[in-house]
Structure 1
Amino acid sequence: MTDTSEVTSIWDRRRIWVTSGAVALIFLAAIEALAVTTVMPIVSDALDGGTLYAVAFSGTLATGVIGMVAAGAWSDSRGPRGALYVAVSLFLAGLVISGFAVTMHQFLLGRLVQGLGAGGQTVALYVVVARLYPPHLHGRIFAAFAAAWVVPSMVGPFLAGAVAEHIDWRWAFLGVAVLTAIAFAVIAVRLRGVDLGHGEPQDRRVVGIRLVLAVVVALLAVLIGFSADLPPLPGWPIALVALGAIAFALLPLLPRRTLRAGRGLPSVVLMRGIAAGSFFAAEAYIPYLLMERFAFSATWAGVALMFAALAWASASELQGRFGERLGNLRITTISLSLLVVALLCVLLAATLDVSPVIVIVGWGFAGGGMGLLYPRLTVLTLAYSGERDQGFNSSALSISDSTGSAVTIAVAGLAVASLGGGASAFWVVFALCLALVAVAAVPGFRLGHAAESDSH
């Protein structure tokens, strides 16, 4: 593996193309994520899939778990290069399928394929960072990843809404597919001569079991989402049984004591899942709330997401610069406080006759909170990891992230469907997310101090 002891910048001459390529992939993923959240109300209406609205989000996150486990095992055994290439190809294929879909089920199929790629891509990139950059630069590279959201956050939601409203929602997917294909061609060439390590042989039986469990988790999460298409009486029991089964199936995929909030890495991984579930479940319904309750167009509904994404990127940059001085306890306290303020704002807007400005400004606080918290949890994960388990731990962090988001979004969608949809049901979603923030405080104060030591 290439010596990184003398690297003083993530834009070092020997690694500038690796950094650029990784940031480009994050940039395109940001464009797609912001676009989907903005245009989904139009897509579900065009394809007559209102009851499956939440599945478009939860399904992608659920299949991402499979991609994460596969990419983690591949990266540990053979290095992250092949895992990254396959993941980007699946991401591209999913965009094309969704972009050409003529029914809601075809659209969801594309989202499921896209999830496989997106999940694998995240883990592979984390391992690339771990292999090529020394610990003291990890905060900077993850801050750069967050900064890759700045331009998409400035124009992505607004542009996606305008494209869906004035041209065709399909180009919100096909346009990203074209850009991904171009970026992938450049990245594949640039990574060819870079030493990413070759990994070590893995126990095939263990890897096989983990893949099977990942598939089980994904199928159960999708089942929870599709239960919204059933009457409440069978829908809720099915969802609750699936939720319990997911918790059991996750145990081998996460560090020991994760679900018990064990101190250190287990709490880092658990907090990532809870925080992600709270934020992304609420965000999935922000444009919907603005369109339903305040009669916003798709173009202007994306403004709330724009402010939140800008706040996320700005806060992440601050974390990269001052995270060590603030420490994990302060970052946890500030982040959760900002999320509480944001969710109280949108909960107020969902229940009372107030200005929609409260939603837009309030949700910016949520972006700031996540911007501080997200890269910090990633830095801690790598700090707790050695070369033998970088893939597993990175995979576990992303699995917790995606599973927490998928399950929370699916349960929120079931709750909205049970209440008949409409603006009156939004308060249930935001109240659920607010409760999750309170739960996140438990692992949040048990993160430990691995990052301060800068050692694995």
Structure 2
Amino acid sequence: MTAGQAEASIWDRERRWVTLGAVALIFLAAIESLAVTTVMPIVSEALDGQSLYAVAFAGTLATSVIGMVAAGAWSDARGPRGALYAAVSLFLIGLVLSGFAVTMHQFLAGRLVQGLGAGGQTVALYVVVARLYPPHLHGRVFAAFAAAWVVPSMIGPFLAGAVAEFLDWRWAFLGVAVLTAAAFLTIAARLRGVDLGHGVPQDRRAVVMRLLLAVVVAVFAVLIGFSADMVPPVGWPVAIGAVVVIGVALLPLVPRSTLRAGRGLPSVVLMRGLVAGAFFAAEAYIPYLLMKRFDFTATWAGIALMLAAFAWAGASALQGRYGEQLGNRRITVISLSLLVAAIVSVLLTSLWGISPLLVILGWALGGGGMGLLYPRLTVLTLAYSGPDDQGFNSSALSISDATGSAVAIAIAGLGVATLGGGVGAFSVVFAFCVVLVFLAAVPGLRLGHAAEQKSS
């Protein structure tokens, strides 16, 4: 690293307001995501939609795949500005629809629109980073993005639970909508005079095909979620068939050899999907477990997730500073070990009713593992990318993330429904998530060394 690189910062005058605006959008997306995790047990009961509990998570993640593909293609063809503006607008519309819903199906419709916006926003921000920040600052930017989850993680679950318990769950969505609108206006003003580069010619037929495939992925991921509302002899064949269709549809949307864990970028993308599925499927059911088995209120169930958030943020900061020295293989081993320990602690609690303190402390280990690994995989994606495929590769990483999470959560919901939906049924969710973590070790040991080579 040269002296000039050492002095450069993501908070330099020419990048300061862009950094702040991007971090604000990540912050608000985190607030919304954590709010949903905490209030969904209340929402599903209020709207009489307990059987569709998993769809509220999986549906949003599934439609985010469409937003990711569209934003990736748009960013490569015309630059990320328009893609970002459209995505934030859709996110806002979805929040409003969910906040004013009077039936579970109306609520789910809002969640689907939210997914379109959330997915597109993530990809567009990644491309903004690639266009505006030099490679040696990418790790710090994504560490800042991860750290943007700190305050939401500290206050978001607690605040969402308190809002749902003492006011109305609707404000967990409408309040975020108001703040997102303010952040949107700020970043739009700051990006107006910023050069985000020019697009490159795109094969329109290929873009349309990718969008159609993204729609297929989203529809069948939602179908897996709705299979929980079917009798098990029908639901399981439907879910398995949907997983096969999703696997085929994903092939053109991700780098070649991704599903075979090819060395380098393909393994980076595959690993992101597997660890996302394991972590977020487990986390979706932790507040539910605490409320049903240990009589936690929504407020206290939200507080239970706070230590994991602290650990995620701290590990992300460590990755931003020491990631190159640790290396990809060592980060893989440490992160997956922490995730296994975390999910096993929750599994044991669900099986034997051990103190909920084991869940709270154990889940902090999972947050640390994700904080160390998540930004590292993003850095590697950009290190493997050139100017002409930054949008596609960023889109592929986010598609893997969302699809892995959506499918895992939907299958977990089907498993819970098959076992009758009682507290004991939660154990099948956590056992399934442990299996996913072990599967993630295969691509995790094939990540390559792109970031280390690029920084040297």
The answer for the alignment partner of 2:398 in structure 1 is: 398
Cα distance in structure 1, aligned partners of 2:309 and 2:194: 32
Give the 3 Å change call, closer, same or farther, for CA 5–311 of structure 1 in structure 2.
Answer: closer
Q: Does 1:369 align with 2:373?
A: no
- Find the counterpart in structure 2 of residue 199 from structure 1: 199
Deviations 1:323-343 (A, max 9, x none): 001000110000000001001
Structure 1: distance between partners of 2:6 and 2:161? 46
Q: How does 1:53-452 map to 2 (within 5 A)?
A: 53-452=53-452
Residue-by-residue CA offset, 1:65-96 (whole Å, 9 max, x unaligned): 00000000000000000000000000000000
Shift of 1:44: 0.2
Residue matched to 1:41: 41
The letter for the 2-side match of 1:19 is T
For residues 200 and 330 of structure 2, what CA distance do their matches in structure 1 show?
A: 38
In the alignment, is the contact (CA less than 8 A) between 1:304 and 1:364 conserved in 2? no
CA contact (8 A) 1:271 1:443 kept: yes
Deviations 1:359-406 (A, max 9, x none): 011101000000000000000000000000000000000000000000
Which amino acid in structure 2 is aligned with residue 252 of structure 1? P
Write the letter of the residue equivalent to 2:367: G
Deviations 1:29-79 (Å, cap 9, x if unpaired)? 111011000000000000000000000000000000000000000000000
Contact kept in structure 1, 2:287 and 2:302, CA below 8 Å: yes
Contact 1:78 1:200 in 2 (8 A): yes
Mapped partners of 1:418, 1:291: distance in 2: 20
Give the whole-Å Cα distance in 2 for the aligned partners of 1:290 and 1:242: 31
The separation in 2 between residues aligned to 1:47 and 1:353, in whole angstroms, is: 29
Residue 310 of structure 1: how far off its partner (Å): 1.4
Letter of the 1:410 partner, please give it.
A
Contact kept? 1:7, 1:134, Cα under 8 Å:
no
Amino acid at match of 1:135: P
- Give the CA deviation at 1:5: 7.5
CA apart distance, 1:455: 6.5
Does the CA-based 8 Å contact 1:303-1:360 persist in structure 2?
no
CA distance in 1, matches of 2:153, 2:258: 33
- Letter in structure 2 aligned against 1:156: G
Identity percentage of aligned residues: 78
For residues 124 and 294 of structure 1, the distance between their equivalents in structure 2, rounded to whole angstroms, comes to: 41
Q: Give the drift of 1:305.
A: 1.6
The answer to whether 1:16 aligns with 2:16 is: yes
Q: Deviations over 1:104-135 (max 9, x none)?
A: 00000000000000000000000000001111
CA distance in 1, matches of 2:168, 2:7: 46
The amino acid across from 1:346 in the alignment is: V
For these two proteins, the number of residue pairs brought into alignment is 453
Q: Is the 8 A contact 2:136 2:455 kept in 1?
A: no
How has the CA–CA distance of structure 1 residues 175 and 269 changed in structure 2, closer, same or farther, with 3 Å as cutoff?
same
CA deviations on 1:138-180 (whole Å, 9 max, x unpaired) are: 0000000011111111111001000000100000000000000
1:7 deviates by: 7.3
Provide the rounded CA distance (Å) in 1 between the counterparts of 2:173 and 2:367: 24
Residue 358 of structure 2 aligns with an amino acid whose one-letter code is I
TM normalised by structure 2 equals: 0.98
Q: Deviations over 1:229-280 (max 9, x none)?
A: 1111111111110100000000000000000000000000000000000000
Give unmatched runs, 5+ long, in structure 2. none
Distance apart, 1:353 and its partner CA: 2.6
Q: Unpaired segments of 5 or more residues in structure 1?
A: none
